[in-house]
Amino acid sequence: MRAVVVNSFGGPEAVEVVETDVPEPGARQVRIKVSAAALNPVDAGVRSGGFGGAGQRIGFGWDVAGTVDAVAPGGPWSVGDQVVALHYGPVKPLGTHAEYVVVDADAVAVAPATVDAVHAATLPLNALTAAQALDRLELEPGQSLLVTGAAGAVGGYAVRLAAHRGIAVSALARETDEEFVRSLGAVGFTAGDIEAGSFDAVLDAAFLGEPALEWVRDGGAYMGVIPHAEPGSVRGVRTGAVEVSADGARLAELVRLVEDGVLTTRVAQTFSLDDAAKAHARLAEGGVRGRLVLVP
């Protein structure tokens, strides 16, 4: 099968498409024939060596939508099931940017029936990150939340999920994105100039760090999305950073929100698997709204 990998770190030119063996599922695993797989900023980090693994062949891709192709005996999934899944881990020999991928059975959920595989492939990593970050903030309905990078993939899901929970969510984004983030449920909008201590919590999807911490009230909460990179606590503010985990049951809840029209998936552009390097180059250009998706 074909798979997208990096053998030596670098820019988009380091991305390779190679022929490799089709992986076999082990106990409590399933093999998925990939229909679509999203390209995320974390893949650029893998490509450039930000997660280590020098001297190894490393595969790309965390998100997958496709069809169950092989299962271990006694598992909950059957060949032919249409599914989505998160394939966790930045340094792995094969990712979802391939014709087939093996994932843990408990990382899988039935694919949404209301969108195609290309759109479904944009859901697992970004929506799970947003949902798990919100869980850790432990906000009650009516409390105030600022989401930075609110027009991005994680930020956009965070705004919508927070609004759905009854949280008074404000969005920090470019002025040109105000209409979009308000459509997600943001009751407030800013492109900057935020008064210190304005919010019960900040979900920092834009990786601003300490400047975003200043906008949290004394005793509030800050949650980043880069593991172990959160700023230190000040003024009694609880700080942390979510490290997304594969959770098929939670992913199934997010799928239902897509089917109910609560969550909207966004695709910026599709690329063939063979054009993976071009997709990386487009991601590196910036300004992408929605996800780039690879289609084998």
End-to-end CA distance of the chain: 10
Which domains occur in the chain, in start order?
2-123+265-295 (3.90.180.10), 126-241 (3.40.50.720)
Please check the confidence at residue 75 and state whether its pLDDT lies above 90.
no
CA 55 – CA 133 distance, rounded (Å):
33
Mean pLDDT of 236-250: 97
Considering the chain, what percentage of its residues have pLDDT values greater than 90? 96
Q: Please, are residues 32 and 100 in contact by the beta-carbon 8 Å criterion?
A: yes
Considering the chain, what percentage of its residues have pLDDT values greater than 70? 100
Determine the pLDDT at residue 36: 98
Q: How far is CA 187 from the centre of its chain?
A: 24
Cα-Cα-Cα-Cα dihedral sign, residues 190, 191, 193, 194: positive
Mean pLDDT of 228-247: 96
Dihedral angle computed from the Cα positions of residues 142, 247, 113 and 225, in that order, rounded to the nearest 10 degrees: 50
Q: Please, are residues 268 and 291 in contact by the beta-carbon 8 Å criterion?
A: yes
Token digits of residue 162:
């927070």
Average pLDDT, the chain: 96
Indicate the pLDDT class of residue 74, thresholds 50, 70 and 90: confident
- Residue 14's alpha-carbon distances to 9, 10, 44, 46, in angstroms, are 6, 5, 11, 11
Q: Give per-residue pLDDT as tens, 180-206.
A: 999 999 999 998 889 999 999 999 999
Mean pLDDT of 231-235: 95
Determine the pLDDT at residue 29: 96
Indicate the pLDDT class of residue 287, thresholds 50, 70 and 90: confident
Determine the pLDDT at residue 73: 82
Please check the confidence at residue 240 and state whether its pLDDT lies above 90.
yes
Q: How many CB atoms lie within 10 A of CB 60?
A: 28
CA 78 – CA 29 distance, rounded (Å):
11
Mean pLDDT of 244-250: 97
CA 129 – CA 154 distance, rounded (Å):
7
CA 4 – CA 220 distance, rounded (Å):
42
Lowest mean pLDDT among 132-136, 213-217, 285-289: 285-289
